[in-house]
Amino acid sequence: MTDAVASAQHLFAEQYGRRPAGVWSAPGRVNLIGEHTDYNDGFVFPFAIDRRTTVALGDRDDRVVRVSSTFSPETIEVHLDALTPDAVSGWAAYPLGVVWALGESGADLAHVRGVDLHIDSDVPVGAGLSSSAAIECAVALALDEHWGLGFDRPTLAKIGRLAENRVVGAPTGIMDQSASLLGEADAAVFLDCRSLDTDVIPLGFTEAGLSLLVIDTRVSHAHATGGYAARRASCEAGAAALGAESLREVRVDDLDRARDLLDDETFRRVRHVVTENQRVLDTVRTLREQGPGAIGPLLDASHVSMRDDFEISVPELDLAVETAQANGAIGARMTGGGFGGAAIALVIDDLVPVIARKVVEAFAEHGFREPGVFTVHAAEGARRDA
Ligand code: GAF
């Protein structure tokens, strides 16, 4: 039994005074490339990471669901018959939103008994590594198996997204939940967000002597407000102005025509998404044909596109990327929704300590908060642990 499982069982017993019936877990994710393409029906290439959220679950005799966690002192409870999208807020919107979304997606919850849930996590919150999807997917898999609902993983990913869109209120796409549920060790999930076809592709980082460094800027972001929704709205407006159902239908060759039809800002938003989709395809092909050491320029170009065209970077992310590149990273880019969160750098193993130190020094010189710098490995997706 791993420490995380023993700890989840212990914390559940402390909270609820009995042993849990089971423990499930789901990982956070790093997106290797393909940013803000998921809600445009495009391509993404994320992987599940070795940072996980655990959910310990115990049965109840009534129809109440209680949730507690190590990141908040409060225990929230709601009756299954009273669960609506407006009935919950704060961190509990993630787990209880999933309970609502299961029912909304066709699960017959009229006869299930309530549960107690205790949630623990080592996915950093606000770092752009999708701690939210990790909670949603761990809870979705736990309840699906415990209640015998029989949903498959792609449907559970949609259920997690529905909770996030309708209960948390963030208009996000399907990428994070797909990575958390479908990820495999040492591989990334190439996902077509229109067909939802997936291909799990070995990354080969370890064999190539490469490490993936995460630089958490500690600039926190939230996707329920502000820039994320504005970017999504620009993409939808751009697609409509071009007569396309989604930006997935727009090709790099169409961009000259798009420039004449769109205002400058909308054009740049569209150009990011269209070129990013192509970069995902190029990354997958390059990885397969030449190995991970050859994908660096695509990662670098992705960052420039997010910085200049999509305008979702912040000075801390740019500094992290530039410092990693200047000190020998193979490629670097911000990852996730932007406006804060983390950058990633693909780095030769021997250079990890050097680049980590240089980034910390550069942040200090600029008067920025000290970043968190650590390596991650591609790990298995959501699972039952005990
Ligand atoms: C966030 C969202 F949750 C994802 O759906 C995706 O849009 C990402 O930002 C940007 O690529 O993580």
| DSSP codes of every residue in 84-101 | -GGG--GGGHHHHHHHHH
Output the CA 337–ligand 1 centroid distance in Å: 5
Domains belonging to the chain, first-starting first, are 3-201+380-384 (3.30.230.10), 202-376 (3.30.70.890)
* 89 Cα: distance to centroid of ligand 1 (angstroms): 21
DSSP state of 254: G
Which atom from ligand 1 is nearest to the alpha carbon of 132? 3
- The bridge status of strand 198-202 relative to strand 210-216 is unpaired
Annotated active-site residue in 116, 176, 216, 300? 176
User: Cα–Cα distance between 209 and 349 in angstroms, integer?
Assistant: 6
The DSSP code sequence of 310-371 is S----HHHHHHHHHHHHTT-SEEEEESS-SSSEEEEEEEGGGHHHHHHHHHHHHHHTTPPPP
For the CA of 36, the nearest atom of ligand 1: 11
CA distance 174 to 151: 16
pLDDT value, residue 224? 60
Q: Name the percent of the chain in helix, strand, coil, to the closest 5.
A: 45, 25, 30
Ligand 1: nearest atom to the Cα of 174: 5
What digits encode the pLDDT tens for the residues 214-251?
999 999 876 666 899 999 999 999 999 999 999 999 99
- 8 A C-beta contact, residue 141 and residue 181: yes
What sign does the dihedral 223-171-196-150 (CA atoms) show? Answer: positive
Q: How far apart are CA 183 and CA 200, in angstroms?
A: 7
Give the closest residue (by CA) to ligand 1 atom 9. Answer: 337
For the question of whether the overall pTM of this predicted structure is more than 0.90, the answer is yes
pLDDT of residue 264: 98
> Of 184, 54, 190, whose CA–CA distance to 131 is shortest?
54
Q: Is position 176 annotated as part of the catalytic site?
A: yes
Q: Look at residues 168, 172, 143 and name the one whose alpha carbon lies nearest to residue 158.
A: 172
Assign 211 to helix, strand or coil: strand
Q: What is the pLDDT of residue 126?
A: 84
Check residue 327 and give its pLDDT.
Answer: 98
Which residue minimizes the CA distance to atom 3 of ligand 1? 172
Asked if 344 contacts 306 with a C-beta cutoff of 8 angstroms, the reply is no
Query: From the CA of 124, how far away is ligand 1's center (Å)?
Result: 16
CB 158, CB 143: distance < 8 Å: no
- 201-230 in b/e form (b: 16+ CB < 10 A) is bebebeebebbbbbbbbbbebbbeeebbee
> Binding site membership for Mg(2+): which residues?
132, 164
Q: Which residue's structure tokens are 């000190």?
A: 327
Separation between Cα atoms, residue 133 and residue 181, nearest integer Å = 9
Mutate to test the pocket of ligand 1, among 40, 125, 136, 175 (most ligand atoms within 8 A of CB): 175
Name the residue of 32, 36, 47, 193 to mutate for ligand 1: max ligand atoms within 8 A of Cβ. Answer: 36
Ligand 1 centre to CA of 67 (Å) is 26
**CB-based contact 123:51 (threshold 8 Å):** yes
Q: Using a 6 Å CB cutoff, which residues line ligand 1? A: 31, 35-36, 38-39, 130, 172-173, 175-176, 223, 336-337
Nearest CA to ligand 1 atom 7: 36
List the chain residues with pLDDT less than 70.
222-225
CA 12 to ligand 1 center in whole angstroms: 31
What residues form the annotated binding site for substrate? 35-38, 228
